[in-house]
Chains A and B, each alone.
Chain A
Amino acid sequence: MILAVAGLSKRFGGLTAVAGLDFVVGKGEILGLIGPNGAGKSTTFNLIAGVSGADAGEVCFAGEPILGLAPHQIARRGIMRTFQHNRPFAGMSVTDNVLVGAHVRFSRRVFGNAGEERAQRDRAEGLVEFVGLSGLQAADVVTLSFGQGRLLEIARALAGEPRLLLLDEPAAGLTPVEAERIAGLIRGIAARGIAVLLIEHDMRFLLPLAHRVVVLNFGAKIAEGTPEAVRADPAVLNAYLGSHAPA
């Protein structure tokens, strides 16, 4: 068990965004966090990623509490994330973007470390290939399509050699073909022993991909289990009734 969330709560003024949330993620497991709009998925994500502070609860990563740490400290612990709306570093090439992802892996030397620089660059270029952006290593990120940008987000996050990967709606805005490719990529990542926590709207994307799913509604967990079990859960069907009815 690499990530343990217990009693997580967050309010915004009078609105309870997340209420007493508990779940765990195992090593090499793909856990999907799903729920209708406003269910609290993004808030939960941000709490774990260190972007906002929680009001109550505990988050333990590899046995260490991480709630309240700043985003860069979270990254240093081994949790990397992607963004829902691609956030590339616009002034740099694809490889350089990925190299920023490896920031935490560099020794702090700037002189006489040509060897390390070269090794990291080779690794980064390899990652660019791995996610499926072959040949685009030297390209300006502004020339990438939206779908390619999504792949870059993942490559960049992987560069940090995380033990847990947080994916923010990885399939959003992608064509079915691109979505399938990303799903395959995610499976490959989990197969390497990296835990993946992803938030997603779309049950159809999640079903064949996630090992387990946690369903949120109004900030609370209403169901948890394998995708098949959850999909048939009456509480879940109720929550989704009228909006994204699962196929």
Chain B
Amino acid sequence: MNNLPDMIWIELRKAIRSRMPLWTSLGSLFMPLGIAFLIFLAKNPELSRKLGLVSAKANLIAYSATDWASYLLLSAEIISAGGFFFFILAISWVFGREFVDGTLKDMLAVPVQRSSILMAKFIVVAVWSAAMAAIMLIFSLVVGAMIKLPGGSLSVILNGFTDAAITVCLVIAVVMPFALFASLGRGYLLPMAMAVLTLVTANLLMAVGWAEYFPWAVSMLYAQGESSLRPISYWIVLITSLAGMIGTYLWWKYADQNR
């Protein structure tokens, strides 16, 4: 794993100069902002009636966040589902752009280990995703304080924050195989399609009760405070993540690169 700092510098420079982290971070704020808006409407029924925006579902979401503990649980769920898409956007861009922009060939016949180049990419995806999640969480905390939620002790907030952080780690772990999808599909479309497929499958498996064995559902179950999660679920997440990274490495090392 030689030259890793240089490779991280390259990946960070590409990401920062593209402004993709900025746009995805701003985009990810829409989710906590949306929840804040629903809670605000629920607290101001007169206004929502005037605007004609009330629906049973909106009220359900808003009233499920009546105190800090439930609000942070809701935030973790938002990160689990919504953050998942933004993290996939990040990993698809970091890996897929090399194929779309035709820049991959410049990284292939170089005296740097392929593992260093890929590890730098995975590290940048993890940091970028964690930064987006941190921005979402901090924004959620600010919104929670602004709408003056009850039951906000330091321990409640710390517990909620820890649960959200673990959720983020689980989501980042299961996003890693999407690097392989971006490589196999040589672009952005396959990882996006697979994201939709995994989310649909996760919801289906949750309905039939097998979700704890499906890696892309584990973070959702965790965010929901599901007590049924057993160590095997975490092992499945870890193995999926490692398999995705190793698969990406093998593909970058041994597959014919015609672009």
Is chain B a partner of chain A in the same complex? no
Which residues of B are at the interface with A, using a C-beta cutoff of 8 A? none
Which residues of A are at the interface with B, using a C-beta cutoff of 8 A? none
